[in-house]
Amino acid sequence: MARRVRTRVGAASTDEVENTAKARKGALFLAVVVIVYILYLVFSGQMGTFAAALSTVEGNWVWGAVLCYVLYFVFGVSAYVIAVILDHESPVGIRDLMSVEASGVFFGNLTPMQAGAIPSQIVRLTKTGLDPGEAGATQFTRFIMFQLGVVLFAALMLLTKFRFFLASYGDIVFLNLVVFGIHLLELISLFIVCLCPVFVRHIGNWAIRFAEHHKWMKNPKHWREVVDVQVQEFSDAFKRAANDLPSMGLTLLVTMVQLACLYMIPWFVLRAFGRDADFLECLAAGSMVQMVSSAVPLPGGTGGAEGGFALFYGPLFGSTATAGYLVWRVITFFAPTLLAVPLLGISSNSSVSLYHRWMRLTRRESAAATIKGSKAKQRRHLSTGRFGRRAAVSVDPQELRRHKDHSKRS
């Protein structure tokens, strides 16, 4: 058992190193892209027009767009809070979850197709005291709800604004449907993993044996563990969460609001440049831009973000499209990536779980909580001995001190 724990912790450390290396490469790639972009403006003679457009920007609308991204981050943390609070003894706190969300922003923005987001968030969750299996299950469940929100939001926008897309962009609307179909298949695959783990394990082990026989796989032992252990853990965690349908529904609602905050940013940028546009149409276009950019296998969705913005928002911005794209990109990508760095290392200090803090806030639980003595909870509380990390304690610290003083006097 100890060997298995050490192996898991070592794997988490390895993932962290790999994510950092990928993020550095992504940052270097994006720096080159920015330099190329500036050179293009200079040699194409558009720098004067670009500077003139920026000089007309109304700051209040820009700050409105910034506030939208701040709310996007807040709602992202809130969705994690809902998932964590279901575990009454979870060691994860609010500051931990801010760091988890920031890890997703930073490593997701700097890796192709946001591939580094999930591993980095799992590593960050393990630093709170969760073992890698619990952290992976929590993150995987959150990822499923996020993907469900993305697909559901896009479906609603396509249904309500299909005529707008067809009239404005012609046959390109079928590209929207293709991208939407890809995301829908991805979501269906995730649900199959969660709801049919035995079937997935059979298929996965067969694929591993086939690849190993043809010497296509470098580390089949690792992938067997993923298939045999983690698939079941993900399935169990999702089924436990599914037992509380109101909480899952609330998580989905929070995710939808979170996405709306991101998709409405171009509308604020349009207003900053003195342009007017239909608010719902901007939401629909924002949804499509996000889906297109996330499908491009380059850091930051480079190529997809530019192409999607030019396609869906170019006609609305007109001559200020280049400057509008820069403001939008700074607010939704470059600034969040840089500002996420200070949040990567923050952690919670409280020894009381979020559930018990919420119960006390709503006065459903007395301030002096009863000391928990069951072996199961002691095992969770002492998990720091296995990982060298903090774990949550569900008791009131003052009550614990009074208990110790009473014992000494006795």
Predicted pLDDT of residue 181: 85
Predicted pLDDT of residue 13: 58
Euclidean distance between the first and the last CA atom of the chain, given in angstroms as a whole number: 39
Q: Using an 8 Å Cβ cutoff, are 344 and 107 in contact?
A: no
- CA separation for the pair 48, 185 (Å, rounded): 45
Predicted pLDDT of residue 79: 92
Domain ranges of the chain: 2-343, 354-409
229: its two tokens:
């252990």
Please say whether the dihedral angle defined by the alpha carbons of residues 209, 10, 230 and 145, taken in this order, is positive or negative.
negative
Q: Using an 8 Å Cβ cutoff, are 146 and 253 in contact?
A: no
Predicted pLDDT of residue 68: 97
3 state DSSP class of 277: coil
- Residue 276 main-chain phi, psi, to 5 deg: -115, 145
- CA separation for the pair 22, 267 (Å, rounded): 33
74: its two tokens:
């807040």
- CA separation for the pair 250, 344 (Å, rounded): 27
- CA separation for the pair 227, 236 (Å, rounded): 14
Q: What residues in the chain have per-residue pLDDT under 50? A: 1-10, 368-395, 397, 400, 410
Radius of gyration of the chain, Cα coordinates, nearest whole angstrom: 24
- CA separation for the pair 53, 171 (Å, rounded): 31
Q: Using an 8 Å Cβ cutoff, are 316 and 277 in contact?
A: yes
